[in-house]
Structure 1
Amino acid sequence: MATQRENDAADYLKKHKIIELMDNLTSMLFFYRPENPREFLIEQLEQLKISQQSGMRGPNLFNNANLNAVFGILDPANQKYITFAQYKQALTTLGIKDINECPEGVNEDRISHETFKTEAMQGLQRCSATAVVLNAQQQRAWPGSDMAASLYRASSTFSGCGEGKGPYCTFNKAQTFSSVTRHCTTSLLNQSLDPLPMRGPELGVQADDIEAPETELEPKHEVLENKDVVVQRVHIDGLGRTKEDLLTYEIAGVFQAKNLIDVMRKSHEARQKLLRLGIFRKVEVVIDTSRGENALPNGLDVTFEVTELRRMTGSYNTMVGNNEGSMVLGLKLPNVLGRAEKLTFQFSYGTKETSYGLSFFKPQPGHFERNISLNIYKVTGQFPWSSLRETDRGISAELSFPVWKTSQTLKWEGVWRELGCLARTASFAVREESGHSLKSSLSHAMVIDTRNSSILPRKGGLLKIHQELAGYTGGDASFLKEDFEIQLNKTLFWDSVLSASLWGGLLLPIGDRPTSIADRFYLGGPTSIRGFSMYSMGPQSEGMAGDYLGGEGYWAGGLHLYTPLPFRPGKGGFGDLFRTHFFLNAGNLCNLNYGEGPQAHLRKLAECIRWSYGLGIVLRLGNIARLELNYCIPMGVQSGDRICDGVQFGAGIRFL
């Protein structure tokens, strides 16, 4: 039990932050390595005293070059934003304790570069006044690595790998990639730091933004030196069922690094690629100096410590579709054959649709964007606007690959479709199309998406083009179907966003067979032409039932203005999830006589345009979905259209 004298001494050390002061001074010595340590320490103490008296920035190991370099390392994609978790952990790693928990952009989980820089600047200034700049573990230098290695350790995930931890594979630069050895490792590094996420911010203050006292010392050495280094070996520690040849493509870029900063950047890129495979629960990075007989003076060893996912994982969650919700249960077998393959079974029960399916996914080694997937499924859906129930049993095969800035998908699908009446009051037109049919189709999709968010974007655009050809590979259905989607977003003054979108499509029957009710387009509702009921506009059956039968051609356009809530309630917190919404929608849906030519089609689509306008409130549910509560005023209503004049609620992931 501690004596009273020992307790008093501990309180004294804590009150005056003596331990932190010693850690800070020791870190300065290790980093700068001055020729006269005593004089250097005196200068640091004098500078600290001035900073405490004046409130200005005190001694700090981070300068502008450090912060820019770290930001580049943690943001290899140059996205200019980070998540809140990255923001918080980065400031904690810097030694900042009183962190602002509600910075600008926290509700969108996108902390901008400027916001982070401001918060870090203020935090470092407060810390420097109490000599708590960095803790001792973060500043302890590695042999031959200087400050850059310390910065890397502050921006990556590390852990010691003790004896008996498991096998790892070693990739030696002097060997070919196919020469892979497996053996056990002892301790590579005795340090352990809390992990930071992949994408990171620029850490710290800008020297030009704070007026420094005249007596402040100039840096005596370049903090981040671009020393030439050679990556001699790359280790993958913790592999079990994963095949080593899969990983050679993902870590190959590390061997091309020429300096320490480059090693850190390429190690982060390799870590991203490993996590993207979906077979590892955790990937940690350790950089150390090379050891052994063939070690070079400037040689480095890079170790990726991985933790594989379990052989079988389960999940349950809820999904929000276009004005419908569902519960989803899933069972996954990741990395089932050792090369990032995935076997998935999924069951979904929703308000309008129930489905289950089995899928197999396999990427091309070294090119994850190029992949194939095979699917077997059964889907049963209810469509009350058409008094229709549809059950699809099918198989499909997809090939996905990138071309320039586009994402391309080729797909073959074979479906056994069963159409039936949802109610006894179903119209004769719906009953006439009831029964069984087979559809075999080839389709192609191209997507260019530069938006910063798919749910409520602030900038960027989207172009999506889809074509489907049915009948040439068998089946009862024969048609050519084309549709597209365009969206543009622009940030304006006062944090407002202007968004414009355009949809369109044509369905061309091939031969004498008419198109099916299951293949036609539908329009209307809170996710498309607001102010109209869900899919309740356009051609419909005769009689009392008035079932909507869909159309063979359509277009829809929307102009939206999103602004913050008036007077900004809850700014910097929950209130930022809401946006005020002003909209103008227009569109048309009809059947076409394809013998009349394209000009006749355009004239028909331009006749009797439905349109609406209004305002409302939008709530963003993370990056999952969004909710809208609008007051709508429908205009251009045609005979048979069902409207929703007044308040209308919508939920979904795809809105006009």
Structure 2
Amino acid sequence: MPGCHPRLHDPTKQTEAPISPMGAEGSEFVDERASADDASFDFDHAFDNVKGKPCRVDQISITGLDRTKPYIVSREFARVREAKTLDDVKDAVLDAYEDLMGLDIFEAIEIVIDGSRKGGHNCNVAARFYERSILRVHTGTYVQGTEGSVEASANLTNPLGRAEQISLSGEWGSQSTTTYSLGLTRPRPFDSRTVFEARLQQSFHDYQRWSSFSELVRGASLTLSTEDGRHSVSYDLGWRRLTDSSRMASRSVVRQLGDKLKSAVRYAFRYDAFEERLFPRRGWGVSSTSELAGVGVDPNMLRFFRQRLAAQVAVPLSATASLSPT
């Protein structure tokens, strides 16, 4: 599997002497040849001596793009051409690398900063991209409470070359739940720092055992969120049908039987200060979701306002355990 190993040379010198290994996650600016020839070479000191020198990018070469449209990459490297010193070039390259890997369409990116043939205070940037496989398939089985379920999903990565993700999934429960979903995710639409998602879905829930009714929901949703997921705005349009085949539902359920339309806007805010998000041991987080249903003039629409607030705190108990109440 190719990794990301950008290398940095001093473009103000005629030789290709290495400058410094930069401590960036997943990337390092190292010249392996010099390391082998002189293991005692002080890269940090050498780079400190030249990082403030004037330096302009003369040429950016991009290879390895099979499906990806060139503008997806070139818009991220535009900041590199604005750099005025060697240190600015390094920082701009690392920022572009992190943003491009954040699209989740590349397995790895290799970037090399080298001296320009023009000499002087110029350098060249060469980037080699390794795209992810276009198709990913996942299957699994789960047990929640008394119900087991089987899940299958297929994901198309960057099929049209614009960093989009197309996903198709289905879940079949052993007792009461069946869901299907088709989604399209597009990062940075119109060069904005947002993520757009469109989704079609259908779900069926059989609550006859507990509440004497069944629910069928079909609908679509549009969501625009910030890249960090902290803010999101959604619009949901759906059709819901409640049925009572047993004719034993309560009066409150009977009043809701039949077909209803849902037209709703939703805003969500999330913030957390956990040390680790997957298994938080220390920190805290809050979330808020506001939903207003009944956007429209159809008298058959569901109308309500719903506000949800949640908070979580993680307190370490030992080196391997923590308490995390919600």
Band of TM-score, shorter chain: 0.7 to 0.9
Pick from 254, 257, 275 the counterpart of residue 452 of structure 1: 275
Q: Which structure would you say has the larger Rg? A: 1
2:138 equivalent in structure 1 = 316
- Aligned mates of 2:273, 2:267 — CA distance in 1: 20
- Aligned mates of 1:447, 1:251 — CA distance in 2: 30
- Aligned mates of 1:407, 1:289 — CA distance in 2: 41
Contact preservation (8 Å) 1:438, 1:477: yes
Against the structure 1 CA distance between its residues 152 and 472, is the aligned structure 2 distance closer, same or farther, given a 3 Å change threshold? closer
Q: Tell me if 1:461 matches 2:284.
A: yes
Contact preservation (8 Å) 1:242, 1:338: yes
Bigger proportion of residues as strand: 2
Against the structure 1 CA distance between its residues 278 and 155, is the aligned structure 2 distance closer, same or farther, given a 3 Å change threshold? closer
- Aligned mates of 2:47, 2:271 — CA distance in 1: 38
- Aligned mates of 1:453, 1:319 — CA distance in 2: 26
2:164 equivalent in structure 1 = 341
Amino acid at match of 1:398: T
1:273-284 counterparts in 2 under 5 A?
Answer: 273-284=99-110
- The Cα shift of 1:406 comes to 7.3
Against the structure 1 CA distance between its residues 409 and 422, is the aligned structure 2 distance closer, same or farther, given a 3 Å change threshold? farther
1:38-57, Cα deviation, whole Å (9 max, x unpaired)? xxxxxxxxxxxxxxxxxxxx
Amino acid at match of 2:81: F
Contact preservation (8 Å) 2:231, 2:267: yes
Against the structure 1 CA distance between its residues 496 and 391, is the aligned structure 2 distance closer, same or farther, given a 3 Å change threshold? same
- Aligned mates of 2:150, 2:165 — CA distance in 1: 22
- Aligned mates of 1:253, 1:321 — CA distance in 2: 49
1:457-536 counterparts in 2 under 5 A?
Answer: 457-473=280-296, 474=298, 475-491=300-316, 497-501=322-326
Contact preservation (8 Å) 1:450, 1:460: yes
SS at match of 1:477: coil
Contact preservation (8 Å) 2:10, 2:19: no
- The Cα shift of 1:225 comes to 2.9
Structure 2 spans left out of the alignment, 5+ residues: 34-39
SS at match of 2:119: coil
Contact preservation (8 Å) 1:371, 1:400: yes
Contact preservation (8 Å) 1:349, 1:355: yes
- The Cα shift of 1:394 comes to 0.7
Contact preservation (8 Å) 1:141, 1:150: no
- The Cα shift of 1:256 comes to 4.2
1:67-109, Cα deviation, whole Å (9 max, x unpaired)? xxxxxxxxxxxxxxxxxxxxxx9xxx9xxxxxxxxxxxxxxxx
1:371 equivalent in structure 2 = 195
- The Cα shift of 1:367 comes to 5.4
Count of residues paired in the alignment: 305
SS at match of 2:162: coil
- The Cα shift of 1:432 comes to 4.9
Contact preservation (8 Å) 1:333, 1:343: yes
Structure 1 spans left out of the alignment, 5+ residues: 1-88, 94-137, 159-188, 192-216, 502-656
Against the structure 1 CA distance between its residues 306 and 431, is the aligned structure 2 distance closer, same or farther, given a 3 Å change threshold? same
- % identical equivalent positions: 27
Against the structure 1 CA distance between its residues 422 and 447, is the aligned structure 2 distance closer, same or farther, given a 3 Å change threshold? farther
Q: Tell me if 1:435 matches 2:306.
A: no
- The Cα shift of 1:476 comes to 2.4
Q: Tell me if 1:380 matches 2:251.
A: no
Against the structure 1 CA distance between its residues 406 and 279, is the aligned structure 2 distance closer, same or farther, given a 3 Å change threshold? closer
Contact preservation (8 Å) 1:250, 1:366: no
Against the structure 1 CA distance between its residues 222 and 316, is the aligned structure 2 distance closer, same or farther, given a 3 Å change threshold? closer
2:181 equivalent in structure 1 = 357
Q: Tell me if 1:268 matches 2:139.
A: no
- The Cα shift of 1:141 comes to 11
- Aligned mates of 1:269, 1:344 — CA distance in 2: 28
SS at match of 2:128: strand
Contact preservation (8 Å) 2:281, 2:314: yes
Against the structure 1 CA distance between its residues 487 and 358, is the aligned structure 2 distance closer, same or farther, given a 3 Å change threshold? same
Pick from 331, 334, 338 the counterpart of residue 154 of structure 2: 331
Bigger proportion of residues as helix: 1
- Aligned mates of 2:186, 2:60 — CA distance in 1: 26
- Aligned mates of 1:153, 1:467 — CA distance in 2: 39
SS at match of 2:72: helix
1:573 equivalent in structure 2 = none
Amino acid at match of 2:211: S
- The Cα shift of 1:482 comes to 1.0
1:553-568 counterparts in 2 under 5 A?
Answer: none
1:229-283, Cα deviation, whole Å (9 max, x unpaired)? 3332222112233222232332233334455555444323312211222332332
2:27 equivalent in structure 1 = 156
Pick from 79, 82, 88 the counterpart of residue 253 of structure 1: 79
Q: Tell me if 1:397 matches 2:222.
A: yes
SS at match of 2:276: coil
Contact preservation (8 Å) 1:318, 1:325: no
Amino acid at match of 1:244: P
* Cα root mean square deviation, aligned: 4.1
2:36 equivalent in structure 1 = none
Report 1 or 2 for greater relative contact order, CA contacts < 8 Å, sequence distance ≥ 6. Answer: 2
1:574 equivalent in structure 2 = none
1:225 equivalent in structure 2 = 48
Against the structure 1 CA distance between its residues 353 and 289, is the aligned structure 2 distance closer, same or farther, given a 3 Å change threshold? farther
- The Cα shift of 1:427 comes to 4.7
Q: Tell me if 1:238 matches 2:69.
A: no
SS at match of 1:148: coil
2:37 equivalent in structure 1 = none
